């Protein structure tokens, strides 16, 4: 395995089976698997679903994947050698699909953006995704579900919770992987929302959230003042919206950020 991919392959049979038991799949499902490795999970998935697109970027792993699937006489898996980040998901399937992945932790943010997109640029395949199951670094998983007033609450929390309903399913110890990672891992489920909030100015929303969290320990009256003509104008706007000027970035809910953004278009 090449270090550049940052992959840690899940090899523990107990946790592989636990994943199969935790995910909601049936014989009519199409699944896109991110980081198939040598195919331990791929083969188990193939027994449960109609079709698996197994995406794996690492050459040595690809060879093992093909050999293992051939040995098990698996016929409903299409192996794709290459990066998930460069894969057009719409071209893989014109039907709805589910995503599952034991992803390289150093690419987590990029993979999540690939799946969902940004507030102003939702991915075109989003409506095709029925559910997403990912193995993440535990710290990142906690950020995905984090609520306001917590240390883990971040721009990533807001973005993922805008597009989906995230849920932690279970934790996985380092010894279940090869090579053994230095961090705890967590298996999560992300259910895309059928409808999204109306955002009048999604570009501005991204800017306000980014600006606020870049100085998350500052009060928003100070961290956001550069986006207004002056601090006084911002103070008036916050008062009009019943937002306490002493609030910090981590204290505002998505709805409050949205309220502030939408009010700026008035």
CATH number, residue 66: 3.40.50.150
The pairing of strands 77-81 and 97-102 is unpaired
pLDDT band at 160 (very low <50, low <70, confident <90, very high): very high
In a domain, 197, yes or no: no
103 burial type by CB count under 10 A (0-12 exposed, 13-18 middle, 19+ buried): buried
pLDDT of residue 266: 53
In a domain, 172, yes or no: yes
CATH number, residue 248: 1.10.8.100
Q: How far apart are CA 75 and CA 164, in angstroms?
A: 32
Is the same domain home to 89 and 206? no
For the whole prediction, is pTM greater than 0.85? yes
In a domain, 74, yes or no: yes
In a domain, 250, yes or no: yes
Is the same domain home to 96 and 171? yes
Is the same domain home to 180 and 208? no
**Count of structural domains within the chain:** 2
pLDDT band at 144 (very low <50, low <70, confident <90, very high): very high
User: Which residue range forms the structural domain that includes residue 211?
Assistant: 202-263
Distinct helix (H) and strand (E) counts, the chain: 11, 11
In a domain, 140, yes or no: yes
pLDDT tens for 18-38 read 999 999 999 999 999 999 999
pLDDT, mean of residues 48-57: 97
pLDDT tens for 191-208 read 999 999 889 899 999 999
Is the same domain home to 125 and 230? no
Q: How far apart are CA 34 and CA 101, in angstroms?
A: 4
Mean pLDDT check: name the lowest of 57-61, 112-116, 184-188. Answer: 57-61
- Helix or strand (DSSP H, E) at 261: helix 254-263
């Amino acid at each position: 395995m090449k270090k550049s991919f940052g992959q840690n392959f899940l090899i523990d049979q107990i946790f592989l089976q636990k994943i199969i038991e935790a995910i909601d799949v049936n014989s009519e499902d199409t699944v896109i698997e991110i980081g198939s490795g040598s195919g331990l999970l791929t083969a188990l998935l193939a027994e449960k679903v109609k079709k698996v697109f197994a995406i794996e970027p690492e050459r040595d792993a690809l060879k093992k994947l093909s050999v293992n699937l051939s040995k098990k006489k698996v016929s409903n898996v299409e192996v794709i050698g290459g990066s998930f980040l460069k894969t057009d998901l719409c071209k893989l399937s014109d039907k709805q699909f589910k995503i599952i992945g034991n992803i390289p932790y150093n690419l987590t943010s990029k993979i999540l953006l690939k799946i969902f997109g940004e507030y102003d640029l939702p991915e075109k395949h989003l409506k095709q995704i029925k559910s997403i199951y990912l193995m993440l670094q535990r710290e990142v998983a906690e950020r995905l579900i984090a609520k306001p007033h917590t240390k883990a609450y971040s721009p990533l929390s807001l973005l993922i919770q805008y597009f989906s309903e995230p849920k932690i399913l279970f934790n996985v110890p380092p010894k279940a992987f090869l090579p053994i990672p230095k961090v705890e891992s967590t298996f999560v489920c992300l259910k895309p929302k059928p409808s999204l909030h109306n955002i009048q100015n999604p570009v501005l929303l991204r800017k306000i959230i980014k600006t606020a969290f870049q100085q998350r320990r500052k009060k928003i009256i100070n961290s956001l003042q550069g986006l207004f003509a002056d601090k006084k104008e911002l103070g008036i706007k916050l008062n009009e919206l019943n937002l306490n000027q002493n609030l910090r970035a981590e204290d505002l809910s998505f709805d409050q950020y949205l309220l502030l953004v939408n009010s700026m278009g008035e």
